[in-house]
Amino acid sequence: MSLRNSTSGPIKTVSFHQNWSAYAFLAPALVILFLSLLLPAVATLLMSFTDVSFLKPTSFVGFDNYIKLFNDTRFQQAVGNTIHYTIGVTFPTMVLGLLAAVALNQKVPGRMAFRTIFYLPVLTSLIAAAVVWAYVYEPYAGPLNGVLTRVGLPPQPWLQDPSLAMNALIIMAIWRDFGTAMIIYLAGLQDIPNDLYEAARLDGAKGRDIFLRITVPMLSSVTFYLLIILIVQTFQVFGAIYVMTQGGPLGSTETVVYQMYQTAFGYTEFGYSAAMSTVLFLTILAFSIIGTRIMRRKDV
């Protein structure tokens, strides 16, 4: 009894003191987060219930912007384009990143050089990369069509044909993002104990079985993490489209974020754009929550 009395006081004091220190250290970050994220998010949500355009008096419109949004065929096309882009970028990026990581996890000559080369696109400026790729896709003087012509294939209007433009953007995004996937997979691969591979070899497993039965399942947490990161990232694609296609031709590369930008700053319909932004935010939030829950369940 006396022991309990003698220890309860000091423990509480230390805990209280530690909390204060923790809050003091967190405060600057919390203030910045509040001003840069939470405040604009709440302002956007409020704006989505108005017809604010800065050209006329603002009035409260309730759910009108949302009702308009779900009946807007242009928005539906943008959602379709975004899903096309997301699926087109996410899965090939992950597969290529995994294959590159597995290859460069072996003791092959020059693996450090290859790792650097594959990761370099991630470090380049998106705008600079987009300008270079716009040149690569250029229909008359572009090197891609130059190669096609040389091997006897017809040149293609990569960014001018509605059926090709989105895929052209996807290829550029894969080129830029697979280095990230490779680095994350490499970290995951190095976490797999070598004993498991040795046990599998002794159990008679060969390359394909080891890859499918050991490597891939052991990387499932990394795969889920990458999947969520890439979905969230590709859902918000803007820069490359702004530089290379401006959403064209015929709206074939207009994604949700690009349309949000156009609606707000092109047509000055800030309220309507805010409603799009809110829907996008809720979609991404839903993916993040589902992904986090799956990952947590897998960890258990």
Is the Cβ of residue 22 or residue 196 nearer to another protein in the bound state? 196
Which part of the chain contacts another protein (CB under 8 A), choosing from 34-42, 95-103, 176-184, 188-196? Answer: 188-196
Single residue of 14, 199, 289, 290 touching another protein by CB under 8 A: 199
Answer yes or no whether residue 205 interacts with another protein by CB under 8 A: yes
Q: Which residues contact 116 (CB under 8 A, 6 or more apart)?
A: none
Residue 46 tokens read as 């409020």
- Asked whether position 293 contacts another protein by CB under 8 A, the answer is no
Q: Contact between 196 and another protein (CB under 8 A)?
A: yes
Q: Does 191 bind another protein (CB under 8 A)?
A: no
The residue (of 95 and 209) whose beta carbon lies closer to another protein is: 209
Q: What's the burial of 177, exposed, middle or buried (CB within 10 Å: 0-12/13-18/19+)?
A: buried
Determine, following the binding rule CB under 8 A, whether residue 200 of this chain makes contact with another protein.
yes
Q: Is 204 in the site for another protein (CB under 8 A)?
A: yes
Indicate the DSSP class of residue 154.
P
Under the binding rule (CB under 8 A), the answer on residue 17 touching another protein is: no
Nearest to 256 by CA among 240, 237, 239: 237
Residue from 218, 229, 284, 295 touching another protein (CB under 8 A): that is 218
- Helix 126-136 × helix 143-150 angle, to 10°: 30
Backbone dihedral angles phi then psi of residue 107, each to the nearest 5 degrees: -85, 70
**Minimum CB–partner distance for residue 193 and another protein (Å):** 7
CA–CA separation, 228 and 235 (whole Å): 11
Q: Is 202 a residue that touches another protein (CB under 8 A)?
A: yes
Which range binds another protein by CB under 8 A, 14-22, 97-105, 177-185, 189-197?
A: 189-197
| Gap between the Cα atoms of 259 and 63, Å rounded | 19
Is the Cβ of residue 31 or residue 196 nearer to another protein in the bound state?
196
The C-alpha atoms of residue 265 and residue 28 are separated, in whole angstroms, by: 32
Q: To the nearest whole angstrom, how small is the minimum distance from the Cβ of residue 225 to another protein?
A: 16
Q: How many residues bind another protein (CB under 8 A)?
A: 18
Buried b (16+ CB within 10 A) or exposed e, 134-168: bebbbeeebebbeeeeeeeeeebbbbeeeebbbbb
Q: How far is the CB of 194 from another protein (least distance, A)?
A: 9
Which CB, 79 or 98, lies closer to another protein? 98
Interface residues toward another protein, by CB under 8 A: 193, 195-196, 198-206, 209, 213-214, 217-218, 220
